[in-house]
């Protein structure tokens, strides 16, 4: 059997009891990120995204006659590469089983916003001097028009190569980079100014209520709620960060967000001109 096992969001102990039992019975266990071999009680083979994409057949080798597990931080289907593993297993006649766990997609409810009020999730990527995509803004706009909140997954750069090293074929990687809530807010504010300069209708403004989240599921997780402008300066600490652009806010959601307010006065009079979908 080939197992895809979610590890949750906090630490090694967030694995489910069912998942841990399966890990300990497997002959090979792959892990897409570092965690505790000692806790899982078995040898782990580190397998980053590059390994998964290029050596999937090796991961699945003999999984039809022995148990093989692939451990995924969060939930197994948080990335398309894991769907590819399932398709390859099925094609090879290998039975598979998925052990689910918490992911950022459902854990964002910790801030008090209702999950059924979320629209399409978007990714915000690092800009460069010559590449500043704004397509995610249009998805946020569509969600806002429907009164829906938008979960923004912030860019992660791991095992990235410089153009020079790539051209020379050198396996030298740049240090990991993780986008912060502050950087995401700065990019959004620049887009807003660009649209304003073009006299375009704005989907969000500097005063739109947002939520910054850091290290969700960990004991030191942090949540901060305030305006987009406030998100530029809020101190969230180390990675991983996510951000939510709110849509229509139910009074109960507003009361919950006040628990994490950067400045409670931001919630006293939510300006109707900022979003016609807001509930006061």
Q: What is the pLDDT of residues 17-66, one digit of tens each?
A: 999 999 999 999 998 765 444 567 788 888 877 777 788 889 999 999 99
- Between residues 171 and 83, the one the model is more confident about: 83
Task: Indicate if 146 and 193 belong to the same structural domain.
Answer: yes
CB 234 within 8 A of CB 226: yes
| Of 15-19, 51-55, 82-86, 114-118, the least confident | 51-55
Question: Which segments are annotated as binding site for S-adenosyl-L-methionine?
Answer: 9, 75, 78, 103-104, 154, 216, 241
Tokens 């969600």 belong to 143
d(Cα 88, Cα 96) in Å, to the nearest integer? 10
- Looking at residue 161, its pLDDT comes to 60
| Of 22-26, 41-45, 82-86, 182-186, the least confident | 41-45
Q: Which of 204, 50, 178, 201 is nearest to 125 (CA)?
A: 178
- From residue 33, how far is each of 7, 149, 204, 207, 248 by CA, in Å? 10, 30, 36, 37, 37
Task: Indicate if 192 and 247 belong to the same structural domain.
Answer: yes
Question: Which segments are annotated as binding site?
Answer: 9, 75, 78, 103-104, 154, 216, 241
Q: Mean pLDDT of all residues in the chain? A: 87
* 8 DSSP 8-state letter: B
pTM of the model: 0.85
- Looking at residue 158, its pLDDT comes to 72
**Quick check: helix, strand or coil at residue 3?**
strand
What average pLDDT does this structure show over 255-267?
Answer: 91
- Between residues 222 and 279, the one the model is more confident about: 222
Domain that holds residue 175: 105-277
Task: Indicate if 170 and 252 belong to the same structural domain.
Answer: yes
Task: Indicate if 95 and 228 belong to the same structural domain.
Answer: no
- Looking at residue 163, its pLDDT comes to 65
The pLDDT > 90 percentage for the chain reads: 64
CB 53 within 8 A of CB 69: no
- Looking at residue 195, its pLDDT comes to 92
Task: Indicate if 93 and 118 belong to the same structural domain.
Answer: no
Task: Indicate if 161 and 179 belong to the same structural domain.
Answer: yes
Task: Indicate if 43 and 121 belong to the same structural domain.
Answer: no
- Looking at residue 274, its pLDDT comes to 44
Task: Indicate if 126 and 162 belong to the same structural domain.
Answer: yes
Q: What is the pLDDT of residues 195-213, one digit of tens each?
A: 999 988 898 999 999 999 9
CB 47 within 8 A of CB 59: yes
Residues contacting residue 273 through CB under 8 Å, at least 6 positions apart: none
Q: Report residue 244: phi and psi, to 5°.
A: -120, 130
- Looking at residue 34, its pLDDT comes to 52
- Of 77, 102, 127, which residue constitutes the final position of a domain? 102
Residues contacting residue 232 through CB under 8 Å, at least 6 positions apart: 182, 185, 186, 189
- From residue 84, how far is each of 15, 51, 52, 75, 199 by CA, in Å? 23, 13, 9, 15, 44
Task: Indicate if 123 and 24 belong to the same structural domain.
Answer: no
- Looking at residue 80, its pLDDT comes to 72
Q: Is the pLDDT of residue 240 over 60?
A: yes
Burial of residue 245, with CB atoms counted within 10 A of its CB: 0-12 exposed, 13-18 middle, 19 or more buried: buried
- Of 102, 128, 153, which residue constitutes the final position of a domain? 102
Question: What CATH code is carried by the domain that includes residue 91?
Answer: 3.40.1010.10
- Between residues 149 and 12, the one the model is more confident about: 149
Task: Indicate if 42 and 170 belong to the same structural domain.
Answer: no
- Looking at residue 88, its pLDDT comes to 92
Task: Indicate if 171 and 210 belong to the same structural domain.
Answer: yes
- Of 78, 102, 126, which residue constitutes the final position of a domain? 102
- Looking at residue 54, its pLDDT comes to 82
Q: Report residue 17: phi and psi, to 5°.
A: -60, -40
Q: How many domains does the chain have?
A: 2
**Quick check: helix, strand or coil at residue 221?**
coil
Task: Indicate if 6 and 109 belong to the same structural domain.
Answer: no
Question: What CATH code is carried by the domain that includes residue 128?
Answer: 3.30.950.10
What average pLDDT does this structure show over 167-173?
Answer: 68
Q: Provide the pLDDT confidence category of residue 246 given band limits of 50, 70 and 90.
A: very high
- Looking at residue 275, its pLDDT comes to 45
CB 209 within 8 A of CB 270: yes
> Residue 190 belongs to what H/E stretch?
helix 181-197
């Amino acid at each position: 059997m080939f197992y895809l096992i979610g590890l949750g969001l906090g630490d090694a102990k967030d694995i489910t009891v069912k998942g841990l039992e399966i890990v300990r019975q497997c002959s090979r266990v792959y892990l897409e990120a570092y965690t505790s071999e000692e806790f899982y009680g078995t040898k782990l083979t580190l397998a980053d995204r590059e390994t998964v994409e290029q050596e999937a057949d090796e991961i699945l080798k003999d999984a039809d006659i022995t148990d093989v597990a692939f451990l995924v931080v969060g939930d197994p289907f948080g990335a398309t590469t894991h769907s590819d593993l399932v398709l390859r297993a099925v094609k090879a006649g290998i039975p598979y089983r998925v052990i689910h766990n918490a992911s950022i997609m459902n854990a964002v409810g910790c801030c008090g916003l209702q999950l059924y009020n979320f629209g399409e999730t978007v990714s915000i990527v690092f800009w460069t001097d010559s590449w500043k995509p704004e397509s995610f803004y249009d998805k946020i706009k569509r969600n806002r028009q429907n009164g829906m909140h938008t979960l923004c997954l912030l860019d992660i750069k791991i095992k990235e190569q410089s153009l020079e090293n790539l051209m020379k074929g050198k396996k030298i990687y740049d240090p990991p980079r993780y986008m912060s809530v502050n950087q995401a807010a700065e990019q959004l504010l620049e887009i807003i100014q660009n649209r304003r300069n073009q006299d375009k209708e704005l989907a969000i403004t500097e005063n739109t209520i947002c939520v910054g989240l850091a290290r969700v599921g960990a004991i030191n997780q942090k949540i901060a709620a305030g305006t987009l402008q406030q998100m530029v300066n809020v101190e969230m600490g180390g990675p991983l960060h996510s951000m939510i652009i709110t849509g229509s806010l139910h009074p109960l959601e507003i009361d919950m967000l006040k628990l994490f307010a950067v400045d409670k006065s931001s919630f006293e009079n939510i300006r109707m001109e900022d979003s016609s979908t807001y509930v006061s």
